[in-house]
Chain A
Amino acid sequence: MSTQLTTRRSGHRPNFLGSVGGWVWLVVIIIPVYYIVVTSLKGQSDFFSGNPLLPSASPTLANYQLVLENDFFRYLLNSAIVTIGAVIPTLVVTFMASYAIVRGDSWFIRSTNSLFLLGLAIPIQATIIPIYFMITRAYLYDTLVALILPSIAFAIPISVLILNSFMRNIPGELFESMRLDGCSDWQMMWRLALPLTRPALMTVGIYNGLQVWNGFLFPLILTQSPSTRVLPISLWTFQGEFTVNIPAILASVVLSTLPLLALYIFGRRQLLSGLTAGFGK
């Protein structure tokens, strides 16, 4: 967003303390990641006998094979469906709402905004019992829709918050001139507001995408069968099923993270600048 503002600290006066702290944190972050990867490549007997921190002398991909054979791709697909199914509608409805909130000014709009902001303070977990009740009574239990609907609802407050702050930065003159050209509010929303809030939509999409992709509570309570299992729950069940096969459990952790890692590697710049723009104010 605003890198042009900061050309400061380009190398002069080395920050010794900062560097030390930075490297220490790197170690803290890396050790568990390293351990996960190294262990996932070990055979079971290797795991019991060798030093946990050293890579195996005879690395094996057998654990990965085991996980892939245990319906990994189905869970991956489920996670993708739920994430996309929740994020896209969230973007549409919150974009429209935010447009109305920022451009409109009525009692209804103002109270809607306050209601959304209030939602920021409410922990999702608190409502899980009524949600379970509603979902079962609506015959949606054990469907992916059951995960999508509450996920959208709980993504609304933070999304509206971020989008509002972006929307407010669109100069009012632009809207005025479009209005003079005879554009309706509906047209202005799509032609003017949408392109200008794209970075914020990106942020909202990524943030909520991560939340939904990694979500645990809704799938734990609202689904049950393997056909609706998503990745975080599959990890949890693998944990019980693979008995003491810790290397296989860790292989499943690696595999479940790979899709996001791939996205991160290819879309890192976008992802980080999106998040930075959305929150860093």
Chain B
Amino acid sequence: MIRHKLLKTAALATAALFALAGCGSSGPGGNTNADSATMWGLTGGDETTYKSSIDAWNADNADETIKLEFFANDAYKTKVRTAIGAGQGPTFIYGWGGGVLKSYVDADQIQDLSSLISEHPEVQSRYIPSILESGVINGKTYALPNNKVAPVVIYYNKDVFAEAGVTPPKTWDELLALVPVFNKAGVAPFSLGGQSKWPSLMWLEYLVERLGGPEVFQAVIDGKTDAWSDPAIIKALTMIQELVDANGFTSGFSSIASDSGADTALVYTGKAAMLMQGGWAYQGFKKDAPDFVAEDKLGFIEFPSVEGGKGDPKNIVGNPSNFWSISAKATEAQKKTAYDYIVDGMFTDAYIDDLIASGAVPVVQGVEAKLEASDDSTFLTFAYKLAKDAPHFQLSWDQALSPAQGDAMLTNLDQIFLKEITPQQFATTMNATLGK
């Protein structure tokens, strides 16, 4: 205690000494200055939507302005937690729901939005109901969806398929049969952003979903003993390693970062035939290779069924949506701005149109007509239908688990892809993290 006081005094004294530096640090909008609410978004597909929404909001509500900043995905995940820990997180915290959200809630960092929702039933009723689930912890709503349904699908380059004279796979066996065909043609069967690690996870998520159904992963979340040793998980890991052995993934996949869009680049430059990625990758294709999309060279299919699997082949994995949570540490004025924005600023007609124009499926009800009318109607209706018809929409595991478990899982899965460990070793290591 005394030490802290001493440190603080010393720090402040020294700070005063360096007046020059002091000036620099209190530069424009350093932290939550005045009563402006702050919002951190992610760069990429939805950037324009958020930006024009906030611009419009600030123009109409000069007394309740919001300051929007953008971060790249990996950088955001690194930064946001330290900032929240320092009591200087943004008013609007961008998130995925699940275990990470729960850890914030447990630390009393997130505002309970339940009363807001009961006061404004129109907020709740605008969303596709199943999507709201990921923002609910212990029966209370802590996060509200802010963008799009993003199921994970398989994208493919139509030209590459036509040249090889093959059609997209409907079953896992067909998928395996395509691998030698493309390898012989000198094209990588699958692109994969292995350095980012979470794209590799999609393979495990889907295979486990197909082989064993949602119960398998639910057991992991519930922390049941030896949940990772489930035969479906072992089998899925084995199948992944078989695919790696067959050269199913582009050589050097573990040095490709998804954040930089290098995985999609391999598909539109024709160096890889297929890519399994989230719905947001469609926006990436549109942004980085507009001609490729406009000329209808980009195809997409759902993850193939697996023979003899117990899971419903209609189940999907991915991100049901992204969410805004409101920081419990924000000032009252900031919170009020945030509530007002949630009620009146989000999912306006312009907001929905922007999302659709960027190539995304908004998480709200009654947009079928708008989707049909858009330039990207093929993809949008495909993704929308996928999400709507899915009996189960599994949230990405790394978000569903606690950060400590998620980190261990991603790194160990990386080792599975590199064939450094066996499925059994993976299960043993991961079983040790259960409940952490």
- Please determine if A and B sit in direct contact within the complex, based on CB atoms under 8 angstroms apart: yes
B8 contacts A244, C-beta separation under 8 Å:
no
With A145-B25, A241-B72 already in contact, the answer to whether A134 and B7 are too (CB < 8 A) is yes
Is A276 an interface residue when CB atoms closer than 8 A count as contact? no
Alpha-carbon distance between A146 and B31 when the two chains are bound, in angstroms: 14
Alpha-carbon distance between A237 and B259 when the two chains are bound, in angstroms: 11
A149 contacts B75, C-beta separation under 8 Å:
no
A224 contacts B75, C-beta separation under 8 Å:
no
Residues in A with CB closer than 8 Å to B269 are 48
Q: Which residue of chain A is the closest to B87 with respect to CB atoms? A: A136
A144 contacts B24, C-beta separation under 8 Å:
yes
Residues in B with CB closer than 8 Å to A189 are none
B8 to chain A, nearest CB (A): 5
B73 contacts A221, C-beta separation under 8 Å:
no
Alpha-carbon distance between A173 and B302 when the two chains are bound, in angstroms: 87
Residues in B with CB closer than 8 Å to A50 are none
Within A82-138, the residues touching B (CB, 8 Å) are 82, 84-85, 89, 132, 134-138
B24 contacts A78, C-beta separation under 8 Å:
yes
B75 contacts A243, C-beta separation under 8 Å:
no
Q: Which residue of chain A is the closest to B4 with respect to CB atoms? A: A137
Question: Which of B11, B24, B28, B43 has a CB less than 8 Å from the CB of A81?
Answer: B24
Alpha-carbon distance between A85 and B25 when the two chains are bound, in angstroms: 11
B21 contacts A145, C-beta separation under 8 Å:
yes
With A149-B14, A225-B29, A225-B69 already in contact, the answer to whether A77 and B265 are too (CB < 8 A) is no
B15 contacts A140, C-beta separation under 8 Å:
yes
Is B22 an interface residue when CB atoms closer than 8 A count as contact? yes
Alpha-carbon distance between A89 and B22 when the two chains are bound, in angstroms: 14
B15 contacts A81, C-beta separation under 8 Å:
no
Residues in B with CB closer than 8 Å to A84 are 20
Is A141 an interface residue when CB atoms closer than 8 A count as contact? yes
B22 contacts A145, C-beta separation under 8 Å:
yes
A248 to chain B, nearest CB (A): 11
Alpha-carbon distance between A239 and B260 when the two chains are bound, in angstroms: 7
A145 contacts B29, C-beta separation under 8 Å:
no
Within B23-64, the residues touching A (CB, 8 Å) are 24-31, 43-44
With A132-B82, A134-B7, A136-B86 already in contact, the answer to whether A240 and B20 are too (CB < 8 A) is no
Q: Which residue of chain A is the closest to B42 with respect to CB atoms? A: A240
Within A30-49, the residues touching B (CB, 8 Å) are 48
Question: Which of A77, A137, A225, A240 has a CB less than 8 Å from the CB of B72?
Answer: A240
Q: Interface SS of chain B: helix, strand, loop or mixed?
A: helix
Is B288 an interface residue when CB atoms closer than 8 A count as contact? yes
Alpha-carbon distance between A149 and B74 when the two chains are bound, in angstroms: 28
A142 contacts B24, C-beta separation under 8 Å:
no
A244 contacts B26, C-beta separation under 8 Å:
no
Interface centre among B21, B31, B69 (most CB of A within 10 A): B21
Residues in B with CB closer than 8 Å to A145 are 11, 14-15, 18, 21-22, 25
Is A270 an interface residue when CB atoms closer than 8 A count as contact? no
With A138-B11, A142-B88, A228-B25 already in contact, the answer to whether A240 and B17 are too (CB < 8 A) is no
Alpha-carbon distance between A68 and B85 when the two chains are bound, in angstroms: 32
Alpha-carbon distance between A142 and B87 when the two chains are bound, in angstroms: 11
Q: Which residue of chain A is the closest to B28 with respect to CB atoms? A: A227
Alpha-carbon distance between A145 and B27 when the two chains are bound, in angstroms: 12
Question: Which of B7, B78, B83 has a CB less than 8 Å from the CB of A138?
Answer: B7
B196 to chain A, nearest CB (A): 10
B71 contacts A237, C-beta separation under 8 Å:
yes
A141 contacts B88, C-beta separation under 8 Å:
yes
A237 contacts B75, C-beta separation under 8 Å:
yes
Flag A182-213 by CB within 8 Å of B: 1 or 0 each: 00000000000000000000000000000000
Residues in A with CB closer than 8 Å to B8 are 137-138
Residues in B with CB closer than 8 Å to A264 are none
Interface centre among A135, A145, A221, A226 (most CB of B within 10 A): A145
Is A56 an interface residue when CB atoms closer than 8 A count as contact? no
Is A236 an interface residue when CB atoms closer than 8 A count as contact? yes
Residues in B with CB closer than 8 Å to A141 are 83, 86-88
Question: Which of A134, A220, A237, A241 has a CB less than 8 Å from the CB of B11?
Answer: A134
A70 to chain B, nearest CB (A): 11
Alpha-carbon distance between A240 and B43 when the two chains are bound, in angstroms: 8
Flag A132-176 by CB within 8 Å of B: 1 or 0 each: 101111101111111011000000000000000000000000000
With A134-B7, A140-B15 already in contact, the answer to whether A227 and B30 are too (CB < 8 A) is yes
Is B262 an interface residue when CB atoms closer than 8 A count as contact? yes
Residues in B with CB closer than 8 Å to A143 are 25-26, 30
A142 contacts B30, C-beta separation under 8 Å:
yes
Alpha-carbon distance between A48 and B26 when the two chains are bound, in angstroms: 42
Alpha-carbon distance between A228 and B284 when the two chains are bound, in angstroms: 29
Alpha-carbon distance between A191 and B372 when the two chains are bound, in angstroms: 82
Alpha-carbon distance between A147 and B235 when the two chains are bound, in angstroms: 49
Residues in A with CB closer than 8 Å to B85 are 132, 136
Residues in B with CB closer than 8 Å to A221 are 82
With A142-B86, A228-B25 already in contact, the answer to whether A244 and B30 are too (CB < 8 A) is no
Residues in B with CB closer than 8 Å to A48 are 265, 269
Alpha-carbon distance between A78 and B30 when the two chains are bound, in angstroms: 12
With A142-B88, A244-B288 already in contact, the answer to whether A85 and B29 are too (CB < 8 A) is no
Q: Which residue of chain A is the closest to B85 with respect to CB atoms? A: A136
Residues in A with CB closer than 8 Å to B25 are 81, 143-146, 228
Residues in A with CB closer than 8 Å to B82 are 132, 221, 224
Residues in B with CB closer than 8 Å to A226 are 69
Flag B74-96 by CB within 8 Å of A: 1 or 0 each: 11001100110111100000000
Residues in B with CB closer than 8 Å to A135 are 11, 86
With A224-B88, A225-B30, A225-B69 already in contact, the answer to whether A148 and B21 are too (CB < 8 A) is yes
B81 to chain A, nearest CB (A): 10
A224 contacts B79, C-beta separation under 8 Å:
yes
Interface centre among A74, A85, A132 (most CB of B within 10 A): A85
23 residue pairs bridging A and B, Cβ less than 8 Å apart: A48-B265, A81-B21, A84-B20, A85-B20, A89-B17, A134-B4, A134-B7, A135-B11, A136-B87, A138-B12, A142-B31, A142-B86, A143-B26, A145-B11, A145-B18, A145-B25, A224-B88, A228-B27, A237-B71, A239-B72, A242-B260, A244-B262, A246-B260
Chain A residues in the interface with B (C-beta under 8 A) = 48, 74, 77-78, 81-82, 84-85, 89, 132, 134-138, 140-146, 148-149, 220-221, 224-228, 236-237, 239-244, 246
4 other contacts beyond A224-B79, A227-B28, with CB at 8 A cut-off? A84-B20, A240-B71, A240-B72, A241-B70
The 7 closest A-B pairs by CB, nearest first: A240-B72, A85-B21, A143-B25, A141-B86, A136-B86, A243-B261, A81-B24
